Structure 1
Amino acid sequence: MTENELQRLIEEISNQVFNKPFTHAASFNKRLRTTGGRYKLSDSSIEINPVVLEKYGTEELIGVIKHELCHYHLHLEGKGYKHGDKDFKKLLAETGSPRYCKQLAEVKPKRVVLHIYRCTSCQLEYKRKRKMDIRKYRCGKCRGEMVYVKTIG
């Protein structure tokens, strides 16, 4: 889909669903990562993440467009256009627009790094997520000196 086709689609949806014209610019923005689209207050334009169309198809794209048009029309009318506002939630329900976009970015599991320390007196091992200064800390059991053993992960 080209940007001209996107512009025409948004104008059509605005006229059919909201009975109001969309008179500003619409474009694809490849830099969007976690959101399906965004309404820009500064110039009243709408940007759409092209991944929505690639990953989920036209139906999800139309949902994202309707969501952004809710922001657009409410903002221009001077009503509550933010996600928590009653006007916004009401218009979402009236137009059948989704509140959230489907997940776009894959969730990567966090890598856990553990630092292992050992007491020189009682040999008790300590596992820590953060490094610690062994000159400042002693063993909690016997007050012995600590040594750095290794890093896991």
Structure 2
Amino acid sequence: MNYDGGQSLDILPWGIWTVGYKSVPAQLLAIVESWNVIAKTWESLKLSWVGESANDAQEFNARLQSLQRQLFGASGEPRTPGLVEQLCVIAVKAAMNYESADVANIIMLKDFADAINAEPLPPEDAGSGAQPFGRVPPDITESPVIERFPNG
């Protein structure tokens, strides 16, 4: 069996974390601001609808508000997270899981290397600050998940 003939998948945990914790939430704020402008404009138009148009407008407004709650969540007790927030949380947790697996592999390989009589390597700078993974993640310029095909 040819185990090298398939595709591979590279996961960049800091890239997933950056997308889930920084990029999407920042873009979401802009979307919510625009959504609020649309909602305020719609509310000001509400008074001018009459007859069947008023019913259509009211139905449209109810669907619009429902969609807003589903996408962005709803405040109140209990607070309901929206789809976008849930996806961000999933991305951040996935990044943390990938990083945990990487750290476990590093520790395992370090313990293995320590068991072998060899010259020690110079220490690495662990970084500082409150950044995840003990270092500042690089800027993300492409997808943090990359598929690689053997012939592509």
Q: TM-score, normalised to structure 2's length?
A: 0.21
More strand by share: 1
**Bigger relative contact order, structure 1 or 2 (CA pairs below 8 A, ≥6 apart):** 2
